[in-house]
Chain A
Amino acid sequence: MTRENQILTVEVTDSHGSTFSLREVCEHGDCHAEFVIKLVDYGIIDPVEDQAEARQWEFDTEALNRLQKAIRLQRDLKLNLPGLAVSLDLLDEVQDMRREVNRLNQRLRQLMGE
């Protein structure tokens, strides 16, 4: 049985984007820092600013999403790091192209006055 609870109103306080430290992304991703460092080495995710020391890294929400996606793909499909890098890049490209196609279709419909 599913329990219900009262409705809370919450406000977005970090609409300009929040960042996460290395420790925080590890907590969110339930993974080791070594794994995150490897993903950064392979260019799969990037810290917001290029800092030499991993302790100073900050990641944005996009990088955290990519990390979580990488963890799921690795766990479920047994991808290695180069495989992850290629897959994530291609998935991004597919998503960008889907958006572009939608946008162009929409523009086309508007131009044709449909």
Chain B
Amino acid sequence: MDFKDYYAVLGVSESASADEIKKAYRKLARKYHPDVSKEENASDKFKDVGEAYEVLKDPEKRAEYDQLRKYGARDDGSFQPPPGWQSASGFSGGGYTEADASQFSEFFEQMFGGRGAGGFAGSGFGGGGFRQSMKMRGDDVHAKRSLSLEEAFHGCEQQVSFIVQEMDDRGRVVPRRKTLKVKIPAGVREGQNIRLKGQGAPGVGGGEPGDLFLEVELAPHPHFTVEGRDIVVTLPVAPWEAALGASVTVPTVGGKVNVKVPKGSTSGRKLRLKGKGLPGKHPGDEIVVLQVAMPEQHSSEAEKLYEQLAELEKNFNPRSKLHV
């Protein structure tokens, strides 16, 4: 078991006052709150900070911890509690605060008897805290899933795995890995929450099971971007296609389609392909943005034609907006 240096977690010295500890905790709790922070492992850091504060804010527990810190820590960072160690201020005899002790570390549990007395752990961060009633609804489980645009467009099957806490027949809380194959319907959007009723953590004592909420994220696509239900693509066209008009092949997520580029188009012109966006009750459109592309090299014949063109179009100033 690893020793947890609660002072280091809160970034305070061993001699820090109760006020300094409170201040450090508040600052770090704000910084690492999983609903606020985008940092990796924010949820783990938040739990560590909560655990450290749970011990250091209480003068009795802090005194016990200081003793342990002095005698129990080994040089290699591992830790063994002294023989016969028992906390006098521990959590085991009730006395839960609002902190959810079931989320705390093995170290905390060994020191202060964290997961005692039938407290039912919530899944996910935060969870439920101590609950009195034995009949209760299972917790909701929230998960995120990144889909490719093609998967979101056509619908797909995704395997989702998560840990739920459930009670065994002896009333102990045991973790169980639950794996589901979820059939995701066509046309889900970024940020959409898919609800799977009754697929969260099981209820206790005949309580209903919680739900699973799957939040959809869309992975970046090399050619398409998504705006709401619309899909945007940049379509390169040759100068003569833009000038004369042409029928060109355009990619859509659902497959290739032929589109008429109107005569006299310029770069940035948008063409809307009705109903070629994300499918659904109100399907989106595909927005094609034209971009005039030049060949990298010209033959001498082409150069001669350009010279003729330059002569014919000499009144055209492409830089007129720049006043030059």
Contact = CB atoms under 8 A, between A and B. Distances in A.
Task: Describe A's contact surface by its main secondary structure.
Answer: helix
Interface in A68-103: 68-69, 72-73, 75-77, 87, 91, 95, 98-99, 102-103
Nearest to B159: A7
Contact of B184 (A12, A95, A99): A12
A26 to B, nearest CB: 10
Given A14-B195, A28-B211, A73-B35, A3 B177 contact: yes
- Which of A75, A91, A95 is the most central at the interface, judged by chain B CB atoms within 10 Å of its CB? A75
Contacts of A7: 159, 179-181
A23 to B, nearest CB: 12
A103 B140 contact: no
B66 interface: no
Contacts, number: 110
Interface string A1-32: 11111011111111110100000000110100
A5 B178 contact: yes
B177 A106 contact: no
A107 interface: yes
A52 interface: no
A45 B240 CA distance: 54
Contact of A77 (B33, B98, B188, B223): B33
B62 interface: no
B176 A73 contact: no
B174 interface: yes
B177 A2 contact: yes
A4 B177 contact: yes
Contacts of B34: 72
A101 B182 CA distance: 30
Contacts of B221: 106
Interface of B: 26, 29-30, 33-36, 38, 46, 50, 98, 125-126, 128, 137, 140, 142, 157, 159, 163, 174-185, 187-188, 190-191, 193-197, 199, 208, 210-211, 213, 220-223, 225-227, 232, 234, 281, 291
Given A8-B181, A9-B157, A76-B46, 20 more contacts: A4-B177, A5-B177, A7-B180, A10-B180, A10-B181, A10-B182, A15-B185, A15-B188, A28-B140, A28-B211, A61-B195, A69-B35, A73-B36, A75-B126, A76-B33, A77-B26, A99-B190, A102-B220, A103-B226, A107-B225
